[in-house]
């Protein structure tokens, strides 16, 4: 079993405005966000074929099983893709421009990807393959949000 993601540090200030709405979990997502509320990043794993998946779903897309386990995410992830946002899509993000939206991959978790943000890294230093570590922001509407920061000494 992988070690739990129990980093209890939090970002010193919100990456994006607190005027944005927080998570509104669906029935399928409620367990994921329940773990996040406890500062644990976990992903679904099929109890039959063992494949990981995200976002959460009631049925495995690989073998159609309804057996579900939850696996702790490794403490280090990698930027799979990203974009730098330069134009505000909502008035609440105007002050944060430019900001990043990153797609993160996790070693050992099949094709699991998580969309989040990399905090405290200037836009010109973000790159595909950059190794990042979990940090938590919040609580926002009762949930801690998984964010990421550059892995110290790990880089790309």
Average pLDDT of the chain to the nearest whole number? 90
Domain that holds residue 84: 30-150
Q: Is residue 125 part of a domain?
A: yes
Tell me the per-residue pLDDT of 94-123, one tens digit each, with 9 for 90 and over.
999 999 999 999 999 999 999 999 998 999
Tell me the per-residue pLDDT of 32-57, one tens digit each, with 9 for 90 and over.
999 999 999 999 999 999 999 999 99
- Give me the pLDDT at residue 18, please: 83
Q: Is the pLDDT of residue 129 over 50?
A: yes
Q: Is residue 85 part of a domain?
A: yes
pTM: 0.88
Q: Is residue 79 part of a domain?
A: yes
Q: Is the pLDDT of residue 11 over 90?
A: no
Q: Is residue 7 part of a domain?
A: no
7-12: Cβ within 8 A, 24+ apart: 7/39, 7/75, 7/133, 7/134, 7/135, 7/136, 8/39, 8/136, 9/135, 9/136, 10/135, 10/136, 10/137, 10/138, 10/144, 11/119, 11/120, 11/135, 11/136, 11/137, 11/147, 11/149
- Give me the pLDDT at residue 140, please: 82
């Amino acid at each position: 079993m992988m070690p739990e993601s129990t980093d209890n540090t939090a970002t010193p200030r919100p990456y994006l405005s607190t005027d944005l709405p927080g998570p509104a979990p669906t029935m399928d997502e409620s367990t994921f966000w329940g773990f996040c509320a406890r500062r644990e990043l976990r992903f679904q794993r099929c109890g039959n074929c063992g494949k990981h998946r995200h976002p959460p779903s009631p049925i495995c897309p690989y073998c159609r099983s309804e057996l579900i386990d939850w696996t702790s995410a490794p403490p280090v992830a990698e930027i799979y893709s990203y974009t730098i946002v330069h134009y505000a899509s909502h008035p609440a993000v105007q002050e944060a421009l430019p900001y990043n939206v990153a797609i993160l991959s996790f070693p050992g978790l099949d094709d699991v990807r998580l969309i989040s943000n990399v905090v405290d890294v200037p836009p010109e230093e973000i790159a595909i393959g950059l190794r990042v570590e979990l940090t938590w922001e919040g609580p926002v509407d009762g949930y801690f949000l998984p964010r990421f920061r550059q892995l110290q000494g790990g880089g790309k």
